[in-house]
């Protein structure tokens, strides 16, 4: 396979996955537009976390460090997508709270559920 063919294959592969690239002052976030809008939004926050908070190329780093960055980016996504000060506007005990949050913040129900679980867990820890 020639070099230009390999480059085209690589670009086609990259199109499938959302990713961020940082080269000096040049920063880029690419999102797969074929995904559901809610998933695109979450992946944008994930990639934004990498741009704002992480340095280095993951492909060059040890697995444990890469996993730590992924954990951090996923955690950042939850806080950025559903900021606590905005959640205070909602009745978190409402039976339809997950649907409401998903609709209002345009993120998946799964992300809303996880965020609320973490808030409840923190409240329990505060009360102990």
CA R_g for the chain: 18
Nearest to 73 by CA among 42, 108, 104: 42
Angle 97-105/109-127 helices, nearest 10 degrees? 120
Tokens 């909602």, residue? 90
Binding interface with Zn ion (CB under 5 A): 70, 73
Compare residues 32 and 100 and give the one whose CB is closer to Zn ion: 32
CB 51, min distance to Zn ion, A: 11
Could you count the other beta carbons within 10 Å of the beta carbon of residue 41? 20
Tell me how far, at minimum, the Cβ of 78 lies from Zn ion, in Å. 14
Residue 20 near residue 29 (C-beta atoms within 8 A): yes
| Three-class SS state of 59 | helix
Give the residue with the Cβ less far from Zn ion, 35 or 116: 35
Q: Least distance to Zn ion from the beta carbon of 93, Å?
A: 33
| Residue 73 or 81 having the CB closest to Zn ion | 73
Nearest to Zn ion of 71, 120 (CB atom): 71
CB of 73 to Zn ion, least distance (A): 5
Paired residues of 27 in beta bridges: 22
């Amino acid at each position: 396979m020639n070099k230009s063919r390999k480059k085209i294959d690589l670009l086609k592969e990259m199109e499938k996955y959302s990713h961020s690239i940082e080269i000096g002052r040049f920063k880029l976030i690419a999102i797969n537009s074929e995904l559901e809008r809610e998933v695109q939004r979450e992946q944008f926050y994930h990639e934004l976390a990498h741009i704002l908070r992480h340095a280095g190329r993951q492909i060059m780093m040890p697995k444990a460090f890469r996993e730590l960055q992924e954990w951090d980016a996923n955690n950042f996504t939850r806080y950025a997508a559903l900021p606590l000060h905005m959640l205070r506007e909602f009745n978190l005990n409402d039976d339809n709270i997950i649907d409401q949050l998903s609709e209002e913040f345009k993120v998946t129900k799964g992300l809303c559920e996880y965020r609320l679980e973490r808030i409840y867990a923190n409240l329990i820890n505060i009360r102990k």
